[in-house]
Amino acid sequence: MTTPPPSGMQPTAQSAFQPSADASWVWSLAERDAGQVRERLVEHDSIHLQAGTAIRLRETFLLLDPERVFRRTCGRVAIAAERAKGDAPPEEQLLAWFNARIDEAAKDCLNKDELALRDGLTFADDLVHYDFFVKTCMVIPENGLFVSVNFNGLPADCRQTFFALFIDHRSIAEALEMGLGPEERLRHNAQRALDAAAGISPRSPSWREVQDDTIGPWWAQDDAFDEPAKDQS
């Protein structure tokens, strides 16, 4: 199940991803020079693959740098097209084919992050990949890799709950209508996802157990998931 856009918002990027518009060149060029396929996609992106990458990351509830995944996807597309030896999939299967390449690229990035976390982050420039957690979740930059690996490694329903409540700003009632309940499960998944996004290790005491309620972001408070009081006037 994918998260529908919030009321009043249109998925403008979705209509931009049209791999069937003119993608035949990918396979014909890959037969001659797969490297040129990657370069052409990165420089011109006539099939709007970058927009498609951002859409697919939302559909799979992953918080990864879309630009990073897009560039990796371009390489995956080139390799897969070369292996196909000019045999492009039917037009009705093109979207699924490109989405599969995006999924592979996202997995590549996740695997690389897991290895980097295990070995220690080597290149400071890589920290820009984790800007969402730094700028939105108030994570210090040096912990961005750790937080990204923990969050993106959560079960899909935890990540979907995070997207629904804290990115799409849906109410608890709306989230329950989307099938993310029952309420106890919704709250558990929301808290688990928020802990991961804040850099709280499952093996460490949660900030919610700290007596000083000024510590941590707003979601550390006990009433973070309470519905706002209705105006009685």
CA angle 132, 138, 144 (to 5 degrees): 55
| Pairwise pLDDT comparison (156 vs 145), residue with the higher score | 156
Confidence of residue 227 (pLDDT cuts 50, 70, 90): low
Residue 132 has pLDDT above 90, yes or no: no
User: Cα 207 to the chain's mean position, in Å?
Assistant: 25
DSSP letter string over 156-209? HHHHHHHIIIIIS---HHHHHHTT--SHHHHHHHHHHHHHHHHT--TTS--GGG
Kindly tell me if the per-residue pLDDT of 8 is higher than 60. no
pLDDT of residue 204: 44
Structure tokens at 189: 């998944």
What integer pLDDT is reported at residue 1 of this predicted model? Answer: 38
Report which residue type is found at 160: Q
Least confident range of 52-66, 80-94, 109-123: 109-123
Least confident of 8-22, 75-89, 100-114: 8-22
Report which of residues 228 and 181 the model is more confident about. Answer: 181
| Interacting residues of 225 by C-beta distance below 8 A, sequence separation 6+ | 172, 187, 190, 191
Half-sphere exposure of 89 (CA within 13 A, CB side): 15
Determine the 3-state secondary structure of 30 from DSSP.
helix
The predicted structure's pLDDT at residue 64 = 95
pTM above 0.85, yes or no: no
The token duo for 144 is: 């961005």
C-alpha span between 145 and 155 (Å, rounded) = 18
**Residue range 173-201, pLDDT digits in tens:** 999 999 999 999 999 999 999 999 988 86
What is the pLDDT at residue 201?
67
Considering only 39-53, 119-133, 138-152, 163-177, which range has the smallest mean pLDDT? Answer: 119-133
Peptide bond into 182 cis (omega under 30): yes
Per-residue buried b or exposed e for 94-125, using 16+ beta carbons within 10 Å of the residue's own CB: bbebbbbbbbbbbebbbeebeeeeeeeeeeee
Distance (Å, whole) CA 182 – CA 180: 7
160 CB-near residues (< 8 Å, 6+ apart): 1, 3, 61, 180
The pLDDT tens digits of the residues spanning 72-103 come to 999 999 999 999 998 999 988 999 999 999 99
pLDDT, averaged across the chain? 81
Question: What is residue 230's predicted lDDT score, i.e. its pLDDT?
Answer: 57
